[in-house]
Amino acid sequence: MKNIFVPSKGEYVKGKRPQVDCILCAIVQSDPQVTNLEVFRSKNFVVAVNLYPYNPGHLMIFPAQHLEEIEELSLSAVKELHQLTVVALKILREIYQPHGFNLGYNLGRGSGASINHLHLHLVPRYENELSFIDVLSGSKVIVEDPQETMKKLKEGFKKYTPELLGE
């Protein structure tokens, strides 16, 4: 039987946030105060598993530099981000065989964004998601520990790194 991992987002929201200015910058700096779920780092970006995943395989891609606006990304950075996205989707398909993906940014206070640091969400979607649990408890049951997700995806990225880096 699979373990059921229940993320404690409630505690996070109620102020158990680590005492850092920016949680994504803290990941970039490998700050021991934050749970580091980094799976890959390219020239300008970090790919990390979301600590409170919406679904197994929920990734974030964010610039290593603290940027808040999408306009701040250079064209070469956008290209790198796109290449990373393509590779991440390929790896997620191999490992999780999702039925689809949601990709996107939450920008600004009205969007539901809880982190100012620009980050792209990659959320695998499955036809058999237990969405009723959302309704019943306001939280989501995740069928995989994010640490486990990180291990699997790290392996996946090793396989595609040379291609991604153009070597």
Site string for Zn ion, 106-135 (x = CB under 5 A): -----------x------------------
Instruction: Clarify whether 119 is annotated catalytic.
Output: yes
SS3 61: strand
Residue 89 binding Zn ion, by CB under 5 A: no
Which lies closer to Zn ion via its Cβ, residue 117 or residue 152? 117
Nearer to Zn ion, 25 or 164 (CB): 25
Q: How far apart are CA 125 and CA 45, in angstroms?
A: 24
One-letter amino acid identity for 109?
A: R
Least Å from the CB of residue 102 to Zn ion: 23
- Binding test (CB under 5 A) with Zn ion, winner from 7, 24, 81, 119: 24
Site size for Zn ion (CB under 5 A): 5
Interior/surface letters 11-49, b for 16+ CB within 10 angstroms, e for the rest: eeeeeeeeeeebbbbbbbeeeeebebbebbbbebbbbbb
Q: Quote the CA–CA distance of 115 and 132 in Å, as a whole number.
A: 27
Looking at residues 58 to 77 of the shown chain, list those that interact with Zn ion (rule: CB under 5 A): 66
Q: Which residues are identified as catalytic? A: 119
